[in-house]
Amino acid sequence: MPGRASGRIGQPRRWLLGVDHLVRIKFDQLAFYDDLRRRHGDVVRLRLGPYRSWLLFHPDQVEALLTQHWASFIRFRRLTEVVAQWNGDSLLLAEGEAWRERRRKVLAAFQTRRLPGYGAVAVAHAARLADRLTRQMGEAGTATLDTDAVMARLTLDIAAGTLFGADPPENGDEIEAALQVLSDTAFRESTAPIRLPDWLPLRAKRRKLWAMGVMDRLVVGLVARGLARPTTDGGDLLSMLIAQHRGDARAVRDDAMSLLIAGHETSGALLSWTFAALARAPAWRSRVLHEIDDGLGGRLPQAEDLAGLPLTRALIEEALRLHPPAYSLFLRQATQAVDLAGVAIRAGDLVQIAPYALHRDGRWFADPDTFDPARFLGKPTWPRYAYLPFGAGPRVCIGQNFALMEACLVLATLLQRVVPERLEQDPVPDPKFSLRPRGGLPMRWRSRRDSIGPKGGNRLSDRADEAR
């Protein structure tokens, strides 16, 4: 395994206070990160406007930042102020003692004992989607679908059920459109040299205010319904938030909004990239179909089944490696001088970690651009902090166990009925709020309606996969 980070600090040329770097971040962010790592090494120092900024590409510095000196950094206020426009005073944006107290309260909603119930909700919605898709395919047994849109709507329905105990929203298409507007807004306003006031007569401003209104009406309405329930625990996340926040409607609203947007957005993206990978990897597709057929015998999965579906989880973990929805962790700003494994950071410096670049570093992952779930079927061969789909340290994603369970259960449910067969176009990663396929993900699906009985599987179709 490669050793420790070199002491060299790369410093790319710049002009006009790093405006050229800001342009690349805005229009070519993933290639920019990869280019910096390849050309300038493990530690890169940039000038971004008035700020001295660092990008860390070695697990040693990543570990130092996220686990040893995390309390010496806050999330960059320029970014948190943008997201706070609709997230409010949520866990995602809190700092210091307020963050500790907030995290303690929200963590109660993700207790291990509650996860199987959330998983059952995910399976029920995935099974209904499978029914709808097989009907849509009709006698032909195939259909071309925008898989990214389908997965986004599925995870919205799952979020409504697990978070609020609610049925799928009737205005789901409107909500999806609003979420996309907020994703675009977050990226645009956080990368712009200046943030323009909302009263300007600009289409982008009108769209943002419309989207904020859609989401606020949705969440405030569902929170009000939860507060009015006679039972104290409805089996959903909202019940725990209400209990932990002692009925404080505003606090519940802010954390519920944050969980809804972040959880739904990233889960939908993860499923899209997983199915895209399976459409291009018939051998892995065949193997996972056999695992699911043999492990479940034609019944719907439960959370306790996942221990017997190791390849299903490995597929998800490899999709997270190649296309992590959190492709870049929240930009951090140092509140005091600190040494990060040999890198001297000043108070006020910005520090960035890009899991997308770490995950594609050939020092840690052989053939890093190749989809190979076998990496995750044994013990990790890479350093602990080279793989960060959910971050790490005290501020690790609070919902990571739920997210992995949800994705595995959805995969095991859908693949018993329908199979991604062919991509209609190569997906291009679009780094906005999360990493989504640009312009959608048109994909041909086929039905497995000929599957019969326990361990049945559509064996003819599966063998056709193996022969390709």
pLDDT in tens, 83-109: 999 999 998 889 999 999 999 999 988
- Which DSSP helix (H) or strand (E) runs through 446? strand 442-447
Q: What is the per-residue pLDDT for 462? A: 46
Residue by residue, DSSP assigns 45-112 as EEEETTEEEEEE-SHHHHHIIIIISGGGEEE-HHHHHHHHHHH-S-GGG--HHHHHHHHHHHHGGG-G
Mean pLDDT of the chain: 89
pLDDT tens figures, 379-418:
999 999 999 999 999 999 999 999 999 999 999 999 999 9
- Tell me how far the alpha carbon of residue 391 is from its chain's centroid: 11
d(CA 363, CA 132): 44
Amino acid code (one letter) for 144 = T
The Cα–Cα gap between 468 and 204 comes to 47
Distance of alpha carbon 179 from alpha carbon 181, whole angstroms: 5
Predicted TM-score (pTM) of this structure: 0.91
| Average pLDDT rounded to a whole number, residues 147-169 | 94
Rounded average pLDDT over 277-296: 97
Confidence (pLDDT) at 193 = 73
Q: What is the pLDDT of residue 192?
A: 77
Q: For the chain, which domains are there?
A: 9-467 (1.10.630.10)
Compute the distance between CA of residue 315 and CA of residue 411 in angstroms, rounded to an integer. 10
How many whole angstroms separate alpha carbon 387 and alpha carbon 400?
14
H or E stretch at 22: helix 19-27
CA dihedral (292, 293, 296, 299) positive or negative: positive
Q: What mean pLDDT comes out for the span 126-131?
A: 97
**Taking 90 as the threshold, does the pLDDT of residue 330 lie above it?**
no
Contact 382, 362 (CB under 8 A): no
| pLDDT of 450 higher than 90 | no
Q: Which helix (H) or strand (E) holds 419?
A: strand 418-423
pLDDT band at 358 (very low <50, low <70, confident <90, very high): very high
Q: Which pair of tokens denotes residue 184?
A: 């675009």
Compute the residue count for the chain: 468
Residues 222 and 129 sit within 8 Å (Cβ to Cβ)? no
Residue 408 known to bind ligand: no
pLDDT reported for residue 20: 67
E-strand ranges in 293-410 read 332-334, 338-340, 343-345, 350-353
Determine the average pLDDT of the residues in 434-462.
70
Residue 225 exposed, middle or buried by CB count within 10 Å (0-12, 13-18, 19+): middle
- CA-nearest of 384, 398, 265, 402 to 324 is 265
Q: Which tokens hold the place of 317?
A: 């973990």
**Pair of tokens at residue 123:** 């399976």
The mean pLDDT of 217-245, rounded to a whole number, is 87
pLDDT surpassing 50 at residue 463: no
pLDDT above 90 (res 430): yes
pLDDT at residue 457 in the model: 40
Query: Among 397, 455, 344, which residue's Cα sits nearest to residue 7?
Result: 344
Does residue 431 register a pLDDT over 50?
Answer: yes
Structure tokens, 220: 């405030």
The overall longest dimension of the chain from CA atoms, in Å, is 67
Q: β-strand 43-48 against 9-10: which pairing, if any?
A: parallel
The pLDDT tens digits of the residues spanning 260-276 come to 998 888 999 999 999 99
Model pLDDT for residues 26-65, shown as the tens digit of each residue: 778 898 898 889 888 999 998 887 889 999 999 999 999 9
206: number of Cβ within 10 Å: 12
Alpha helices in 89-202 (DSSP H): 96-107, 115-137, 147-164, 172-191
Q: What pLDDT does 432 receive? A: 85
Give the whole-number percent of the chain exceeding pLDDT 90: 71
- Percent with pLDDT over 70 in the chain: 90
φ, ψ at 94 (rounded to 5°): -75, 155
Higher-confidence position of 2 and 433: 433
| pLDDT at residue 246, rounded to an integer | 87
DSSP 327-376: -SPPPEEESS-EEETTEEEPTT-EEEE-HHHHHT-TTTSSSTTS--GGGG
Lowest mean pLDDT among 216-220, 232-236, 409-413: 232-236
Q: Are 326 and 399 in contact (CB under 8 A)?
A: no
What confidence score (pLDDT) does residue 189 get? 87
For residue 177, what pLDDT is reported? 93
Q: At 43, which helix (H) or strand (E)?
A: strand 43-48
Please give the pLDDT value at position 18.
Answer: 56
Q: What is the rounded distance in angstroms from the CA atom of residue 454 to the CA atom of residue 452?
A: 7
The first and second tokens of residue 292, run together, are 């699911």
Q: Which two tokens stand for residue 150?
A: 């389908």
